[in-house]
Amino acid sequence: MADFYTDREYGPRVREIMTLESSVIRAIESEVDRLLSHGAFGRHFPTRCPDNPAVIGNNSDQFWRTAEGMIPGLVWPSDEFHVASAEQVFDLLEFCFNHVAYPESGQWHQYFQHHHLSFDVGRGQAKLRSFINDLFERNGVGYELDVSGKVVRLGAPVVGDLALSTRFNSGDEELDTYLKNAVRKFRAHSAGSTLDAVKELWDAFERYKTILGEGDKKTTADDLLARMADDGEFLDRLRTEAKELTEIGNRFMIRHSERHKTVIKDDAHAEYLFHRMFSFLWLAIRKTGTGGKASG
């Protein structure tokens, strides 16, 4: 990222903003326009030389008609009456990543006064990704465009990094499915995906209580805790934490959807619960040796 005065003086901004300010959207609009003006989408939406099939630029009308068809409700560029949602902008970024390529000038056509173009896909995608991630970092946006061209949330530091890098192999296929789904939904950028990730983790928690041997859930849960720590004081803390996590799952609309359950409305609260439960399960799998491991 470019080295700005404010970064040197105050350090990088915390990446915690989960919406897109109008200034960020305008910067993205400007970058897409710049790419179109340079023919960067000509590989998939070509304008061709009148004299032969060589590509000389991109067809902007074709590009936007396709983008608007693939992203329902998209109005671009935004104006005072229509402002694209963050989800629509993220979809547009992924659409652009899938179609962008760096245009390289080749043969000069003297009569029509233009170059024939070739395209470097990897270079084009890397330059787009670099611009978007610099823009998001400068503005404290908690998302990034990853190497595969997907917009993913960063999550809070430390636990978020652990969640996104952990590979699960607990030895129980159903448990691993819950955990992998939880991380996938946590990384998603759709509305409500964090709470959906929390629900997957609580299902994993309940599943984990049942796979450590014979007996009822309370017996196997006690066995789980005993394997997580042999120190009396720390074991007591884990018992308290497990009890509170169970109570949270029962009182809030996580495991059950009855009318009297408390709804989690704040995405930051859902993210906190994700980190809390993920930490517990990561330790459980790491310490209990259920036939596999959680590695990060």
Are 144 and 152 in contact, with CB atoms under 8 Å apart? yes
pLDDT of 130 > 90? The answer is yes
Q: Give the tokens for residue 205.
A: 């928690």
Confidence of residue 42 (pLDDT cuts 50, 70, 90): very high
pLDDT at position 72: 94
pTM: 0.66
| 72-76, 109-113, 175-179, 288-292: segment of lowest average pLDDT | 288-292
Per mean pLDDT, which of 80-84, 142-146, 249-253 is the most reliable? Answer: 142-146
Nearest Cα neighbor of 178 from 203, 209, 147, 212 is 203
Which is higher by pLDDT, 191 or 69?
69
For the segment 276-295, the average pLDDT, to the nearest whole number, is: 72
The domain locations on the chain are 5-152, 155-295
> Residues 68-112: pLDDT tens digits?
999 999 988 877 778 889 999 999 999 999 999 999 988 888 787
Confidence of residue 292 (pLDDT cuts 50, 70, 90): very low
> Residues 199-208: pLDDT tens digits?
999 999 988 8
Instruction: Tell me what percent of the residues of the chain surpass a pLDDT of 90.
Output: 42
Pairing label, strands 167-169, 293-295: antiparallel
Q: What residues contact 130, with CB distance under 8 A and at least 6 apart? A: none
What pairs with residue 145 in β-bridges?
151
113: left (phi over 0), alpha (psi -120 to 50) or beta: left
pLDDT at position 113: 84
pLDDT at position 163: 62
Nearest Cα neighbor of 271 from 172, 224, 201 is 201
pLDDT at position 162: 61
**What's the whole-number average pLDDT of the chain?**
85
- For the residues of 138-158, what is the DSSP string, one character each? HTTBSEEE-TTS-EEE--STT
pLDDT of 247 > 60? The answer is yes
Which is higher by pLDDT, 50 or 157?
50
Are 66 and 91 in contact, with CB atoms under 8 Å apart? no
For the segment 15-32, the average pLDDT, to the nearest whole number, is: 91
pLDDT at position 222: 79
Are 167 and 173 in contact, with CB atoms under 8 Å apart? no
pLDDT at position 144: 94
Confidence of residue 260 (pLDDT cuts 50, 70, 90): confident
